[in-house]
Structure 1
């Protein structure tokens, strides 16, 4: 049986590259944190959505610590169900997390709901137009569409440099990133 997902082979190849990069570059999250442009954090008190890394995703926690030290309020995504936007709950370093859907670590249900203005987005691959390849469930596409419809939202992908590709197949429902920060470079896709 063959896959009907045209992105499946690319996803498999890019996940292997990401795994290798994660093993070869344990300090990549720290390098990424030092490269993140200050101008992408609009003001003190801004709500920033990070994520808890899965597998060999580049570690956003050093960047989240830097943003928190600069006055940002942090939150993490919560999976509400298939074909639904993620919601976000407040998070501070040391808060208890629970492992839920797809192995994602989420803040406990009692944590305050948040509406982020800056979203740090994990990915499998990204191209020079800001198209993002994820796991194929659409969570971030649904989320970015909903947030962008309700107000300003800056979506910045985080990745190893090897996750950048020349061109990705994009569909009408795919929500592009505004920028990408890797362990070695910064890309602004807003023109």
Structure 2
């Protein structure tokens, strides 16, 4: 299994042995289509269960702080089509950011989750757009498909080399692989940082990452 400990504000992980996957990732998205080795796949799954608890026990008000930092970063760029995320119950809530970007004249896009093995697509959202029920409890705007020029990427854990741990469906890795050169900005709590993530051959590193405490840029 992956042993996770808290040191200061950060998670630290050491892969010790594998354990059976939990049902957590399956409830959010189907199992990864990608060919991680069994040991890496099991280590990732063990770490997911522990990192999810960080999100579920986060302090009140931290989502608003993170949204403000993301808005500051994004509005300082010239990206016009920004793919955001409409949260599931336990996830960091970017809805205030969506409204702020829309009010600033940016085009806010939300992902539509396809069947297994396909990349995400993104639809235009405005405060007036109807939201339809998507896969795995997601909300999908009833708007036109648009290609983003920056993608905000949710995650359960990250390290300082730009690696991220997702939910296990491979959707964002698959999507970023089909959008070469696109800016990918992860967002997370500082407490979701781990010393080093187990990675597989299909994992797509982030361009940058924003927490409630700092902004990171990766080569």
> What TM-score do you get using the length of structure 1 for normalisation?
0.87
Within a 5 Å distance, the mapping from 1:165-180 to structure 2 comes to 165-180=194-209
1:117 alignment partner, one of 111, 134, 149: 149
Within a 5 Å distance, the mapping from 1:77-88 to structure 2 comes to 77-88=111-122
Contact kept, 8 Å, 1:120 with 1:157, in 2: the verdict is yes
Count of aligned residue pairs for this structure pair:
181
The Cα of 1:39 is off from its aligned counterpart by 6.3
* CA distance, structure 1, for counterparts of residue 63 and residue 53 of structure 2: 18
Question: Over residues 57-92 of structure 1, what are the superposed CA-to-partner deviations in whole Å (9 max), with x where a residue is unaligned?
Answer: 111122222322332101100011101100011101
Contact kept, 8 Å, 1:33 with 1:66, in 2: the verdict is no
Within a 5 Å distance, the mapping from 1:41-120 to structure 2 comes to 42-43=77-78, 46-108=80-142, 111-120=143-152
SS at match of 1:9: helix
Report what 1:12 is aligned to.
49
* CA distance, structure 2, for counterparts of residue 125 and residue 39 of structure 1: 22
The CA RMSD over aligned residues, in Å, is: 1.8
Is 1:181 the counterpart of 2:215? The answer is no
Q: Which runs of 4+ in 1 moved over 6 A?
A: none
Q: Which runs of 5+ in 2 are unaligned?
A: 1-18, 22-37
Report what 2:14 is aligned to.
none
Inter-CA distance 159–94: structure 2 relative to 1 (3 Å threshold): farther
SS at match of 2:145: coil
> What TM-score do you get using the length of structure 2 for normalisation?
0.76
Report what 2:186 is aligned to.
157
The Cα of 1:182 is off from its aligned counterpart by 1.4
Is 1:143 the counterpart of 2:175? The answer is yes
When Rg is computed on C-alpha atoms for both structures, the one with the higher figure is 2
* CA distance, structure 1, for counterparts of residue 146 and residue 207 of structure 2: 21
Q: Which runs of 5+ in 1 are unaligned?
A: none
The Cα of 1:162 is off from its aligned counterpart by 1.0
